[in-house]
Structure 1
């Protein structure tokens, strides 16, 4: 069973996170954190899209706004 976990470790350390080793040794903070900034921007755009979709459903009146709670309350 330990070989299974060592295999997972090897996958993440030597394969999936290998590009981060390149960025770790850069002198510029901005260049080293460029991947993080890309993820932040993509997440922010996704949040804006999600908020726009919520507004569309709210303006159409398709959202269920009925007040309900558990029967034992």
Structure 2
């Protein structure tokens, strides 16, 4: 079973997180956190889109706003 967990460790450390090793040794904070800022911007855009979709469904009255969430309650 330990080979299984060492395999998972090898996958993440040596392959999936390898691009982060490039950013680790940079001296500029902005340059080393560029990838994090890109993920933040993508997440923020997705959140704004999601909120707009929720508002559309709320304005159309399609959301079930009954008090009980399940029929058996």
TM-score, normalization by structure 1 = 0.91
Which consecutive unaligned segments of at least 5 residues does structure 2 have? Answer: none
1:24 Cα offset (Å) = 0.3
- Aligned CA-pair RMSD: 1.3
1:51 Cα offset (Å) = 0.2
Could you say which residue in structure 2 is the equivalent of 1:59? 59
Could you say which residue in structure 1 is the equivalent of 2:27? 27
Give the number of equivalent residue pairs. Answer: 71
SS of equivalent residue, structure 2 residue 27 = coil
2:44 maps to 1:49:
no
Alignment deviations for residues 6-61 of structure 1 (CA, whole Å, 9 cap, x no partner): 01000000000000000000110001011111111111000000000000001111
Could you say which residue in structure 2 is the equivalent of 1:17? 17
- Mapped to 2, the partners of 1:54 and 1:42 lie a distance apart of 18
Could you say which residue in structure 2 is the equivalent of 1:7? 7
